[in-house]
Amino acid sequence: MAPCYPVAPVDSQPGCLEPDDPSPAPPMFRKLLIANRGEPVVRIARAAQALGIKAVGVASEADADASWVQCLDEVVRIPGRAPGESYLVMETLVQAARQTGCAAVHPAWGFLAENPRFAALCAQHGLTFVGPTPGVMQRMALKWPAKSSMGEKGLTCIPGSKGLLSSPEQAAKIATKTGYPVIVKADAGGGGRGMRKVDKPEDLASAFAAASAESLAAFGNGALYLERYLAGGRHIEFQLITDCFGNAVHLFERDCSVQRNHQKLIEESPSPAIDGDTRMRVGEQVAKAAASIGYTGAGTIEFLRRPDTGELCFMEMNTRLQVEHCVSEMVTGVDIVAEQIKVAANEVLSVGQEDLKLDGHAIEVRLNAEDPSANFQPTPGTLEKFSIPTDQGPGTIRIDTHLQEGDEISPYYDSLIGKVIAHAPTREKAIETLVRTLNATVIEGVKTTVPVHLAVLQSPEFKSGQYDTSCIPGWPA
């Protein structure tokens, strides 16, 4: 069992740090704190330990007896249960890293992964943050500055406002020029919060107020911008990795168009909507753009593919590791997490663009403890039975999870049970393998999203590759 310690008292409040002051990185870390919980911790610990790095984690009061902590070499118990009193308390996490002798902090995804203040606090205390510098993160975390930066680098952007909106009246003038429908978006948003689609002028003022209020409550920032709403688009994102020496590669694209309320349900690579020329042209653009702004580490640049022209329009950049990174790993053979850690330790990327080739097709489904028949309400509880087979062929199956039979799914945190990824020589074989696997999966004690995934995978729309973000193919609206 991994040694477990209580967190020591936080010794001081941090001062200010210039956003782009990076902390020096050692040749390779001996210890790495993973500032997260659950499945991300298991994934990152596996990569760190394979590199000879000890993985240190934190566990809240709600996670004190969770089975996933057994993957760690050391565990620091932190107070609180809800995220706001545990995994989101930056000073506590930094203190946990310092008292265990960690040289670096990996934020994984979610929680503080895209918080420039947390990255700056780590640097201030001599800890290497596995990710971009605070200044670059801050610049790209806000949607409008990111859009402006990428537009300057030659990426096409969705038509809309040329900056943040000062009032509903200004939004109305821009919407008239752009044409309806439009969508108002939170500058600091994510996960679909702070967004409102507007179909006609008389609804714009109320949508503006609602989106701003929701964004202020969720992110502490009510600023909005406006874009033309492109119905029937495809959500395409390019995975990239850059190092500290200006080297950058893309690991091709993922199609994440199967969504519910802007939350991804299924991801695949390569996208059936992208041809080879577009793939290489846009991939080269995003890699160069990331390197030109001084980005380091793993990141994702997201696009909306216009249904009328097929053009890829920049939406945002995720300055962190993505939940669905494993899809790209399956089709390229690259351990993205290992590369991310090595880059943070000032190592040169171990792969060049010429080394990267697409190998077959990969599809991922996110299994959540949710009841699809009750508007996807979370269903916390005990996993009385939990079995996902890996021998259903004709392709191969990868399962990323932090849970095992008998574990509790906490009401305090995300409802993700795990990710099931199928890889095969063709898209058809990958779908077949995933359908067979889900049909043989046994999960009892909580309701899950397995029925939704089976409906999508077997729908004519998904099988043909002709689907978009407007609905869940094969599933009733």
- pLDDT-based confidence at residue 6 (cuts at 50, 70, 90): confident
Domains of the chain: 4-138 (3.40.50.20), 159-228 (3.30.1490.20), 234-464 (3.30.470.20)
pLDDT of 148 > 80? The answer is yes
Contact between residue 157 and residue 230 where contact means Cβ atoms under 8 Å apart? no
**Bigger pLDDT: 10 vs 21:** 10
Residue 337 gets which letter from DSSP? Answer: H
Angle at 403 between CA 399 and CA 407, to 5 degrees: 155
Please, which residues have CB within 8 angstroms of residue 286's CB and are 6 or more apart in sequence?
155, 238, 240, 250, 301
pLDDT computed for residue 13 by the predictor: 42
Sign of CA dihedral 77, 81, 83, 86: negative
pLDDT-derived band at 231, boundaries 50, 70, 90: confident
DSSP 278-330: HHHHHHHHHHHHHHHTT--EEEEEEEEE-TTT--EEEEEEE-S--TTHHHHHH
Q: Answer yes or no: 320 catalytic.
A: yes
Q: What does the CA dihedral 393, 394, 395, 396 come to, rounded to 10 degrees?
A: 30
Give the SS3 label for residue 370. strand
CA gap 395, 431 in Å, rounded: 9
Distance CA 116, CA 317 (A): 14
Q: Nearest 10 degrees: CA dihedral of 343, 348, 354, 360?
A: -30
For 295, 308, 320, 342, the CA distances from 22, given in Å and listed in that order, are: 12, 43, 17, 16
Rounded Cα–Cα distance for residues 258 and 264 (Å): 6
The mean pLDDT value for 83-111 works out to 96
Each residue of 248-295: pLDDT tens digit? Answer: 999 999 999 999 988 899 999 999 999 999 999 999 999 999 999 999
Looking at residue 26, what is its pLDDT? 56
Q: Which of 371, 360, 386, 370 is nearest to 443 (CA)?
A: 386
Helix (H) or strand (E) holding 171: helix 168-178
Instruction: Say how far apart CA 424 and CA 215 lie, in whole Å.
Output: 41
| pLDDT score at 294 | 95
Q: Give me the percent of the chain exceeding a pLDDT of 70.
A: 95
pLDDT averaged over the chain? 93
pLDDT at 322 over 90: yes
Handedness of CA 136, 142, 144, 146 (dihedral sign): positive
Q: Which two tokens stand for residue 236?
A: 């395409």
Distances (CA, A) of 357 to 63, 332, 396: 40, 6, 19
Task: With a cut of 70, say whether residue 79 has pLDDT above it.
Answer: yes
Q: Which carries the bigger pLDDT value, residue 299 or residue 218? A: 299
Of residues 188 and 348, which shows the higher confidence score? Answer: 348
Across 454-466, average pLDDT: 97
Q: Look at residue 408 in the predicted model and tell me its pLDDT.
A: 95
Q: Name beta bridge partners: 443.
A: 386
pLDDT at 15: 37
From 244, 246, 262, 264, select the one nearest 254 (Cα to Cα).
264
Res. 212: pLDDT tops 50: yes
At residue 191, the pLDDT reads 67
Q: Do the bridges between strand 361-368 and strand 416-424 make them parallel or antiparallel, or are there none, so unpaired?
A: antiparallel
For the segment 399-408, the average pLDDT, to the nearest whole number, is 97
Strand order in the sheet with 182-190: 193-198, 182-190, 224-228
State yes or no: pLDDT of 22 exceeds 60. Answer: no
Which of these is catalytic: 228, 234, 320, 366?
A: 320
Does residue 154 surpass a pLDDT of 70?
Answer: yes
Q: Collect all residues with Cβ–Cβ distance below 8 Å to 60 and sequence separation of at least 6.
A: 37, 77, 78, 79, 80, 81, 86, 87, 412
The answer to whether the CB of 303 falls within 8 A of the CB of 282 is yes
pTM > 0.85:
yes
On the question of pLDDT at 317 being above 80, the answer is: yes
Please give the share of the chain, as a percent, with pLDDT higher than 90.
Answer: 84
Nearest to 402 by CA among 2, 37, 32, 155: 37
- Average pLDDT value for residue range 203-219: 93
Q: Is the pLDDT of residue 73 over 80?
A: yes
- Confidence class of residue 19 from pLDDT cuts 50, 70 and 90? very low
Q: Report whether 62 contacts 81 (CB < 8 A).
A: yes
CA 380 from chain centre, in angstroms, equals 22
Return the structure tokens found at 124. Answer: 């201030």
Phi, psi at residue 180, to the nearest 5°? -85, 155
Query: Rg of the Cα trace of the chain?
Result: 22
